[in-house]
A and B are shown apart, each in its own frame.
Chain A
Amino acid sequence: MALTRDSVPVIGRVVATETLPASPHQFHFWTPTATPIGIGAIVRVDGEDRTVFGVVLDARAYSDLVTPLHEVIGAEGDPGAAAPPTRRAEIRLWTAAVLRQEPEEPLQPVPLARVRLATPADVTLALRMDAYAQSEPRSAIPVGLYAAGGTRAPVWLDPDFLLGPESAHLNINGVSGLATKTSAVLFLLSAVFQHFPRGKGRIAAVCFNVKGPDLGFLDRPAALTPQDLEMYAALDVAPEPFDRVRFYAPYKADGVNLNTLRTHPALAGSVEPLVWGLREVLDYSEVLLNRDDIDAKADAFLDFLADRVVGKPFIDEWGGRHAVESFGDLERLFRAIFDGLEAAGGRDMWRTHHVATIRKVRNRLMNISTRCKGLVTDDADGNDLPFGAFEDRTVYVVDVAGVDQLGQDLVFTRVVSKLREHLERRDLGVEHVVAFVDELNKYAPADGPETYVRKMLLDLSERGRYLGLVLFGAQQFRSQVHRRVVGNAGTTVYGRMDMDELATPGYQILSPATKIKLATLPKGELMVRHPHFTQPVFVRFPRPASLQGRQGVEQFPPVPDVAFDDAVVRQLAALDRRVPAARVKDLIADRREDDVRRALLATRRARPHDVLAFFAARLGPAVRRQTIGDPAPGADVAPLRTVEDPYAP
């Protein structure tokens, strides 16, 4: 591409001395004290036979004053003395890092020539975006607007390096509340959905909502300022909320009220319950085991359960027939084993498994159904994300903000693992999935015990790009996240940073001025590193067009939990407004809550034409309550003998 000098005004000149030379990677230039450039500005140097683009990393100003003492003498010790009639000679000396040289070979020191502000076309060249942002059709994702010295230019990411296969993953970093991490990711997701080339396949996003209502209203429009709209136009992104969003949330412990803040009546029915049974949990039982639990014996017993018991007819040594489909069934099997061993004279081995191992596994498994009641059901039937039927340009929000840590780990691990399995088999429904995980420092900490979640995240970071599974991770402190997770992120974004964090070794490559800028970044401004950019670049981005958590809750305040029967009515009414509340209440009166939950879940899953009829059919006929007489005197049932359980919670 021909690079010609143009009419852009000269703002400075490159200077080089023996102690401050210009090199192929760095140069210095001076400007008048009144200049439009600042840290992060992109400049162009036009030499005789080469053009160099650079980004300003640092700046210094000094005068010809030899020692501050002479200033004191000049003012006769009075800092309030009148300003001297002559201003001292003063210099603004800027340090810039080379972004690109044209021609690229032979690589030579930067010419001692005039410096101009980069034009929008220069920005494209400087950041090497011309290879993908200027192709036809364009294959680029806008991440924000470069803005310095009156120049505004869109900054584009290469989808092959953001979403694979060349490199992948994005990591965003910054202090809570000021770095606008979630906003940045939502804007970028929106840009990805609008600009990811159709020819590269279908794409969806799975966003884990781990705190408050952050991602609960992505389908609702947000109020945007004229400045935001202007930026959307400049970035060629339509300022609209996501038009295809599926919300998932587990139930609360009552099994009927959803554990989410998106419960406003106007949004009723838009949240799918996320409910898992034994099968779903057992496959990821490693998540439930702590470091001390991970041993070959527990593993072997879990494998035995998964391979030989769950979902298959099983006959125990004492003639008991088991069809283990749910936690309830499993508990009955455990009870049969313990009773059988007891009856056999207190044997401590069952099918090569020690009773202590069996008790440990039993306690861990049953613990999840207690701690994550609402997410995990005792029944066999669950309600899951539509693995195999994912839709193009759709956001799947999994709201686990109200679930305890163990449950979050389980959800996170299982969903990501399932995504990976389906992507490997190419049967997910889409070819690319972005998984957005906030608070990455919690799931993949730099230190601490090795957990299944962290192992899975490491695997995702290192292999995900080949599968089309891309991690968009966010955290407050990058230094606290496992280095292989952040290191594998091809694109890194920094919002407002904490100075203590910036003092950690990971930021040594940044100049002091860049660090200061990072520590004082206003909302809506980010520093972006991308494989094509040889230096970080600062960009601005507009507010997301989707309603964000706090505003969402203000606009759609969540309703309080309601009684069991009212919750059932509400959920059925969300499927069909004509369902009469009184009739539903009559149907479920005096019915076991577990039966009602099961029928309700089945109805939600089936989404039948006649909701009430389907619900009633799944509920089955009521069994009339029958009072039997008092047991005969002396016919007391002897209590069961129990073996002491060392792993009881």
Chain B
Amino acid sequence: MARGLAREAARQPGGRPFAEARVVEGRDVRAIPVGEPVTGPEGMGFVDGIQRFAVEGHFGVTPVVRAQVAAAALERHGGALRCAARSVEEFLTVPRDRLTTDQWEALTDVGLPIQESDPGPRPHPLLDRWAAVQVIEQRRDRCEADAAARFLAARPDAWLVVDGGVTGLAAVRGADRAIGVVKSHETQFLEATDLEAALTLPAGSRSSAFVRRGAGGVEATSWYLRLWPWSEEDLLHGLARVERLTARGALDSADDVSRWLLAERSPVADRDPRWERLLYPMHHVEMYMRAEAGGWH
């Protein structure tokens, strides 16, 4: 059991390693075979985003970070992906409270929008950068939500797969057609035998569904889905967490949605180290975004 850990550096979980959830499908979490993979409906969309940033300079010890975030929704017809919606934003981010008026005016003269980052209690090179990244990730989430909202509005019958959770889309019309695929498992919602059942799912099975509560109290119905067989070395290998906004039908369609996602195992997104849980269309969106963005200096 310890072999896998010995091979790679153990990662520090994020700020929320545990969160509450309630099982809504039976009493305990169990493995549910979902059946043969089935290709999702024609016209299905996929949303993902990218972010890039660089420290452009400093005012004293205060870093000025330039960032670009972008997101796109690609729709699939006949196996080919085409861009249906796209959102790009480039900006500067600094802790405004630490700048003088002259410094601030100099920044505004650059001509890029400026997003303020958390100044913290006092300057710290690493914390300042971390604060900038927080801003950048929020802007990227907004970009993704914007692309998703435009896709769902323009295509009222189409399903949309998003990278990550869906609670941020609660205000978007048509968000009940969004399927979130979460690759990271930094937050654990289950414990004890439920957790063991979820993390040892056989390939092609999902866990019982549970409901978790997101920001602003938005509820999402979620389940784990084993895309590829796990190995002794890594329980998380091939394991994704799927979620939909809790609404009528979300639970009933869990098997169908799972079968659609199982069908996405091929082609393999083999250029990405997370290939065993990264769906190829999402990889394609990311590739598209990077190609679109071109060189960025």
Contacts and interface: CB of A to CB of B under 8 A. Distances in A.
Partners in one complex: yes
Interface of A: 64-67, 70-71, 73-76, 81-89
B284 interface: yes
B81 A86 contact: yes
Nearest to B283: A64
B213 interface: no
Q: Which of B80, B266, B270, B271 has the most CB of A within 10 A?
A: B266
Given A66-B270, A70-B270, A85 B264 contact: yes
Given A64-B287, A74-B265, A85 B76 contact: yes
B interface residue count range (under 10 / 10 to 19 / 20 to 34 / 35 or more): 10 to 19
B270 A81 contact: no
Interface in B163-198: none
Given A86-B281, A89-B287, A65 B270 contact: yes
B268 A89 contact: no
Contact of B76 (A73, A83, A86): A86
Contacts of A64: 271, 287
15 contacts: A64-B271, A65-B267, A66-B271, A70-B268, A71-B268, A74-B268, A75-B266, A76-B266, A82-B39, A84-B263, A85-B263, A85-B281, A86-B79, A87-B79, A89-B287
Given A70-B268, A84-B79, 15 more contacts: A65-B267, A66-B271, A70-B275, A73-B268, A75-B266, A82-B39, A83-B79, A85-B39, A85-B40, A85-B79, A85-B281, A86-B79, A86-B264, A87-B80, A89-B287
Nearest to B263: A85
A71 to B, nearest CB: 7
B159 interface: no
Contacts of B266: 74-76, 81, 84
A82 B264 CA distance: 12
B280 interface: yes
Contacts of B267: 65, 70-71, 74, 84, 86, 88
Contacts of A88: 267, 280
B46 to A, nearest CB: 9
B11 to A, nearest CB: 25
A78 to B, nearest CB: 10
Nearest to A83: B79
A308 to B, nearest CB: 89
A86 B280 contact: yes
Nearest to B276: A73
A491 B99 CA distance: 76
Contacts of B280: 84, 86, 88
Given A84-B79, A86-B81, A87-B80, A67 B270 contact: yes
Interface string B257-297: 00000011111101100010000110010010000000000
A88 B266 CA distance: 10
A76 B37 CA distance: 12
B contact patch SS:
loop
Q: Which of A67, A71, A76, A84 has the most CB of B within 10 A?
A: A84
Q: Which of A65, A67, A70 has the most CB of B within 10 A?
A: A70
Given A74-B265, A83-B79, A84-B79, A89 B270 contact: no
A87 B79 CA distance: 5
B22 to A, nearest CB: 33
A64 B284 CA distance: 10
Contacts of B80: 86-87
A81 B268 CA distance: 14
B263 to A, nearest CB: 5
Nearest to B265: A74
A65 B287 CA distance: 13
A387 B81 CA distance: 74
A575 B190 CA distance: 113
B96 to A, nearest CB: 41
B133 to A, nearest CB: 28
A390 B271 CA distance: 74
Nearest to B275: A70
A67 B79 CA distance: 21
Contacts of A84: 79, 263, 266-267, 280
A89 B79 contact: no
For the complex of A and B, the 6 pairs showing the least CB-CB separation, nearest first, are A74-B266, A70-B270, A87-B79, A84-B266, A85-B39, A74-B268
A86 B270 contact: no
Q: Which of A65, A67, A74, A83 has the most CB of B within 10 A?
A: A74
B110 to A, nearest CB: 29
Nearest to A69: B270
Nearest to B81: A86
A609 B266 CA distance: 91
Contacts of A67: 270
A86 B268 contact: no
A83 B264 CA distance: 11
Q: Which of B264, B268, B281 has the most CB of A within 10 A?
A: B268
Contacts of A73: 268
Nearest to A33: B80
Contacts of B40: 85
Nearest to B266: A74
Contacts of B265: 74
Contacts of B263: 84-85
Nearest to A63: B267
Contacts of A75: 266
Contacts of A81: 266
Interface string B127-157: 0000000000000000000000000000000
Contacts of A66: 270-271
Contacts of A86: 76, 79-81, 264, 267, 280-281, 284
B289 to A, nearest CB: 13
Contacts of A87: 79-80
Q: Which of B76, B263, B267, B270 has the most CB of A within 10 A?
A: B267
Interface string B38-75: 01100000000000000000000000000000000000
A31 B176 CA distance: 38
Nearest to B80: A87
A76 B36 CA distance: 13
B276 to A, nearest CB: 10
B48 to A, nearest CB: 14
A71 B275 CA distance: 13
Nearest to A70: B270
B54 to A, nearest CB: 22
A334 B79 CA distance: 92
Nearest to A66: B270
Nearest to A76: B266
Contacts of A76: 266
A65 B266 CA distance: 11
Contacts of B264: 85-86
A85 to B, nearest CB: 4
Contacts of B287: 64, 89
Q: Which of A73, A74, A84, A85 has the most CB of B within 10 A?
A: A85
A70 B283 CA distance: 15
A85 B270 CA distance: 16
Nearest to A75: B266
Interface string B78-96: 0111000000000000000
A313 B245 CA distance: 122
Q: Which of B270, B271, B287 has the most CB of A within 10 A?
A: B270
